Amino acid sequence: MVNLVEYNELKNLLTEVAELEEKLSPNELEMYHSLKNKYFEAQAVDPFDMTALDVMTRNVKIREGYGIDARKDTGRVITLPRSDEVE
């Protein structure tokens, strides 16, 4: 049986993320659409999905605080020397 309280909480998170949709990074946007389709109808909620939606909202707030636009700014690239380059 579906826990409707959890399902309602998830739908509320989906609505909250929908309001931030234009501020999501491409991978967050892909996950949001996937979860939106997955939970179109009532079903048991995976706790990981709830956490993922919560993290998306927090990421948007963090990026806003640093003035980062996830759609325009490039991702951070970390270049480390390869083991054959290190003496």
48-77 pLDDT, tens digit each: 999 999 999 999 999 988 888 877 776 666
Residue 53 domain flag:
yes
Q: Is the pLDDT of residue 7 over 80?
A: yes
Contact 69, 30 (CB under 8 A): no
Residue 12 lies in a domain: yes
In a domain? residue 79: no
Q: Is residue 62 part of a domain?
A: yes
State if pTM tops 0.85.
no
Residue 72 forms part of a structural domain: no
Burial bucket for residue 28 (CB in 10 Å: 0-12, 13-18, 19+): buried
User: Does residue 43 belong to any structural domain of this protein?
Assistant: yes
For residue 32, being part of any structural domain is answered with yes
Determine the Cα–Cα distance for residues 21 and 56; give it in Å rounded to an integer: 10
**Domain that includes residue 20, residue range:** 4-66
The domain tally of the chain equals: 1
Residue 37 lies in a domain: yes
What does the pLDDT read at residue 9?
A: 97
Contact between residue 64 and residue 23 where contact means Cβ atoms under 8 Å apart: yes
Helices (H), the chain: 4-19, 26-38, 47-66
